[in-house]
């Protein structure tokens, strides 16, 4: 089974696809959708939507797992991320993809054993599970956490499916 994990954002969205086969996991593709902070919100959403369609077409997932929106103190940011998540869900719907959503705490709990784990712990677990192939050198160091989070979302779904 191929699972595409998505870590939604407006400026930077992480994505990661994994292959689950015989209780083993392989990271197939991971990266970022980045938008220009100077662009109009509608242009940024259009970029996210079109790149999501391309990623879905390229990775051909059996399912898409997306991190649920977490409401932070900044309502404006939460609204923008919610809009971005909406166009991601729209792209998934356009491709007839099966979609699952998981809360951040559930993802962290399933991947690290601790629902309050920080990003560095999540990244460490992702590297342990997927091996040396998954390194931050593929993208800007500051944004590898988005791709790692997306791989964690996909892995969370794989663990939940396996536990049923």
Q: What is the pLDDT of residues 88-117, one digit of tens each?
A: 999 999 999 999 999 999 999 999 999 999
**Phi and psi angles of residue 14, each rounded to the nearest 5 degrees, phi first:** -95, 145
Please give the DSSP secondary-structure letter assigned to residue 39: S
Alpha helices per DSSP H over the chain: 41-59, 75-94, 104-112, 119-130, 144-162
What is residue 66's predicted lDDT score, i.e. its pLDDT?
97
Domains of the chain (ranges; CATH) run 2-162 (3.30.420.10)
> Distance between CA atoms of 102 and 85, rounded to whole angstroms?
13
pLDDT bucket at 121, cuts 50 / 70 / 90: very high
């Amino acid at each position: 089974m191929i699972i595409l994990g998505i870590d939604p954002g407006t400026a930077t969205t992480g994505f990661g696809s994994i292959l689950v086969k015989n209780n083993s996991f392989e990271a197939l593709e991971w990266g970022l959708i980045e938008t220009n902070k100077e662009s109009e919100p509608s242009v940024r959403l259009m970029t996210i939507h079109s790149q999501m369609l391309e990623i879905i077409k390229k990775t051909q997932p059996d399912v898409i797992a997306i991190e649920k929106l977490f409401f932070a103190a900044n309502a404006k940011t939460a609204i923008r991320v919610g809009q971005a998540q909406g166009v991601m869900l729209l792209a998934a719907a356009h491709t007839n993809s099966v979609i699952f959503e998981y809360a951040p705490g559930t993802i962290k709990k399933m991947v690290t054993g601790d629902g309050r784990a920080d990003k560095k712990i999540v990244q460490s677990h992702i590297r342990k599970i997927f091996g040396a192939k998954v390194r931050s050198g593929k993208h800007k160091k500051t944004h590898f956490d988005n791709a790692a989070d997306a791989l964690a979302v996909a892995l969370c779904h794989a663990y939940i499916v396996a536990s049923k």
